[in-house]
Amino acid sequence: MKKSLILAIETSCDDTSAALIDGNCDVFSNVISSQEEVHLKYGGVVPELASREHIRTLIPIVEMALEKAELGLKDIDAIAVSANPGLIGSLLVGVSFAKGLAFSLKKPLIAVNHIFGHVFANFLEHKDIKFPFLALIVSGGHTELVIFFSAVEYTILGKTVDDAAGEAFDKIGKLLGLPYPGGPHIDALASGGNKLATAFPLPMLKHKNFDFSFSGLKTAGMLFLKEKGTLDEAQTHDFAASFQHAIVEVLFWKTIKALEKYSLKTLLLAGGVAANSELRSTFSEYCNKHNFKLHYPSEEFCTDNAAMIGAAAQFKYKKKKFATLELNASSVKGMKLL
Ligand code: KG4
Ligand code: ZN
């Protein structure tokens, strides 16, 4: 008998995912259907196509998740769903489905903030994480430094005033002619390049606050590419490495400053950009040397997935923080708990 078994659903952007996870954050299945092929020719996510694709794939994905876990709907104790933030049409598909299922099975419904999901993805593989901790949340839409005192008490120290880190990677990826999203491709190109080839600006690094800005850096990258015309292979590697290095440097030094200022000993990396190899190795090296506890999810759990929604939902399940069938999706950016 699995305890506190949650069926979690994630449809906030362009991945349809369902997972089964118990109260110990053990994952029995985490099925993800990517829409990459659908959006490829448009160079970014087309919201209307994304919602239609979720409608088409969600039920088969839930069935696959149950089958993989060798469980049935009767085994589920609660249904969790990503309710905000994200693309409104995409969110609505997941929320409507979760509400319908919770109603028909007479099981509690749990609304999860997608950003919290990214943070709590860390608990899937590290069960012993202790509060308080600092989280660096870096995804396609968010860049935030947040102190978590508990699963529901947190303080946002800073966030991006314009583009998110992932957005900067993706926009430069597009200019380089890379498939969407560009982040992982720039990461791969960077591994063969010299990160010191070009010194790109390090936006807001010297500012006393913990806010970020990436739109100026993106413009600097764009102007560099415009000025150089076409790059040969070696120059492309160097450019990717230098551009990535500028993003990592800013994220790294601001995060270290926050750890020190607030005397925190544990750091969690969260969100798609936490899969970046330079970001991981830079933090790993520093945290090892200076005795900080560092956690980041394995790649499967870094980018959008339902298991992370289930992990965040488990905290709410324990405190019986359930949503009603009045629950509505919200596209508003940020960490508001519904
Ligand atoms: O968290 P996520 O899957 O979706 C959002 O909630 O936004 O993050 C997607 C972002 C994209 O911008 C993608 O380019 C970036 O994460 N990303 C990476 C890497 N893997 C994914 N960025 C840099 N390096 C990577 N290895
Ligand atoms: Zn995400």
Query: What phi, psi does 216 have (nearest 5°)?
Result: -65, -40
Q: Which ligand neighbours the alpha carbon of 138 most closely?
A: 1
What is the torsional sign of CA 79, 31, 300, 125? positive
Return the amino acid letter for 15. D
Give the mean pLDDT of 56-68: 98
Residue recorded with tokens 């200019």: 175
What is the number of other CB atoms lying within 10 angstroms of the CB of residue 282?
19
Check residue 40 and give its pLDDT: 87
**Ligand 2 center to residue 272 CA distance, Å?**
6
Round the CA-based radius of gyration of the chain to a whole number and report it.
20
Give Dmax (Cα) for the chain. 63
Residue recorded with tokens 């994905």: 61
Q: Which ligand neighbours the alpha carbon of 178 most closely?
A: 1
Higher-scoring residue by pLDDT: 61, 152: 61
Check residue 183 and give its pLDDT: 97
Give the mean pLDDT of 16-45: 95
Taking CB atoms and a 6 Å cutoff, what residues make up the pocket around ligand 1? Answer: 13, 118, 139-141, 166, 169-170, 181-184, 187, 271-273, 275-276, 303-304
On the question of pLDDT at 112 being above 70, the answer is yes
Distance CA 188, CA 211 (A): 28
- Ligand 1 atom closest to the Cα of residue 277 is 26
Check residue 182 and give its pLDDT: 96
- Ligand 1 atom closest to the Cα of residue 304 is 3
* % of the chain beyond a pLDDT of 90: 92
Give the mean pLDDT of 211-239: 96
**Ligand 1 center to residue 327 CA distance, Å?**
28
Distance CA 214, CA 204 (A): 9
Q: What is the pTM of this model?
A: 0.95
Check residue 337 and give its pLDDT: 84
Query: Which residue, 108, 7, 104, 117, is CA-closest to 320?
Result: 108
Check residue 1 and give its pLDDT: 59
Reduced to 3 states (helix: H, G, I; strand: E, B; else coil), residue 287 is helix
* % of the chain beyond a pLDDT of 70: 99
Domains of the chain (ranges, CATH numbers): 6-120+301-318 (3.30.420.40), 130-296 (3.30.420.40)
